[in-house]
Amino acid sequence: MPAGAARAGPSVRERSVLAPLTHGRCTDAVVIGGTAPNRALVYFDREAASLAAAVVTAIADLERSGLACIDVVPDDDLVTIGVLAPRLGVPPRGLGELLRDGPPPVRRCGGELIFRWSDVLAWLDTAPGEAAGPAPGPASGPVASPASEAVLGVLNLALRLRRLVRSDPATAAAVRDLLA
């Protein structure tokens, strides 16, 4: 997107993905256009007992909406003011002023503005004077914990295995035997 440009709303492709989600009352989904045809990134922000439980319920919501989940990835690049503030070492109330001339939010989800962390960092690198704000602290980068990476890895294996098993009954029987 050129500097200074703003998007007024979701693209046609994003609306086609968003419609089944909102119809299915999946209000915590943020849809970002993907790079391949018929694909989009759908981020969820939900409370659950564990990361695995949150991801599994998000996958179930996608499927109830008629959409297929290909894989799951960490969403650390999409952040709210509540996540940005500690990463930048700024109180949340002061962050609005800092971002006034900064990158536009990519979405609003559940009443909160959603920013791309990478856009905020790029803007801070080029912002003049005070707008540059404090240097991000040591925990400022989007890094998934090893435990989160392991959970997402297992869930991705389960998604791939499920696709394979659904397409080949003989493989399904072999997998059942292996897991027994």
DSSP code string of 162-179:
HHHHHH-HHHHHHHHHHH
Q: Is residue 2 part of a domain?
A: yes
**Whether residues 82 and 64 fall in one domain:** no
**Counting every residue, how long is the chain?**
180
Q: What is the pLDDT of residue 4?
A: 31
Q: Is residue 15 part of a domain?
A: yes
The closest of 96, 104, 106 to 30, measured between CA atoms, is 106
Q: Assess contact for 175 and 165: CB atoms under 8 A.
A: yes
Domain span including residue 158: 144-180
Q: What is the pLDDT of residue 13?
A: 55
Q: What is the pLDDT of residue 64?
A: 84
User: Could you count the other beta carbons within 10 Å of the beta carbon of residue 109?
Assistant: 19
**Whether residues 62 and 9 fall in one domain:** yes
**Whether residues 85 and 102 fall in one domain:** yes
Ordered per-residue pLDDT tens for the chain, 180 residues: 333 333 334 455 556 656 666 665 677 777 766 556 667 777 787 888 998 999 999 899 888 887 888 888 776 677 888 778 888 888 888 887 788 888 888 877 667 788 888 888 888 888 765 454 555 544 444 456 678 888 989 999 999 988 888 888 888 888 889 988
Query: Whole-angstrom Cα distance, residue 66 to residue 24?
Result: 9
Q: What is the pLDDT of residue 138?
A: 41
Q: Is residue 7 part of a domain?
A: yes
Q: What is the pLDDT of residues 38-89, one digit of tens each?
A: 677 777 878 889 989 999 998 998 888 878 888 887 766 778 887 788 888 8
Query: Whole-angstrom Cα distance, residue 127 to residue 84?
Result: 17
Last residue of a domain, one of 54, 70, 86: 70
Q: Assess contact for 140 and 85: CB atoms under 8 A.
A: no
Q: How many domains does the chain have?
A: 3
What SS3 string covers 26-61?
A: CCCEEEEECCCCCCEEEEECCCCCCHHHHHHHHHHH
Q: Assess contact for 82 and 92: CB atoms under 8 A.
A: yes
**Whether residues 5 and 51 fall in one domain:** yes
Q: What is the pLDDT of residue 57?
A: 92
β-bridge mates for residue 175, sequence order: none
Tokens of 19: 């419609």
Q: Is residue 139 part of a domain?
A: no
**Whether residues 41 and 97 fall in one domain:** no
The closest of 85, 67, 87, 78 to 107, measured between CA atoms, is 78
Q: What is the pLDDT of residue 89?
A: 82
Write down the pTM of the prediction.
0.58
**Whether residues 53 and 98 fall in one domain:** no
**Whether residues 29 and 87 fall in one domain:** no
Q: Is residue 137 part of a domain?
A: no
Tokens of 119: 């856009």
Radius of gyration of the CA atoms of the chain, in A: 19
Q: What is the pLDDT of residue 157?
A: 92
**Whether residues 122 and 159 fall in one domain:** no
Last residue of a domain, one of 110, 132, 154: 132
**Whether residues 33 and 60 fall in one domain:** yes
Residue in the structure block whose two tokens are 């939900």: 46
Q: What is the pLDDT of residue 69?
A: 87
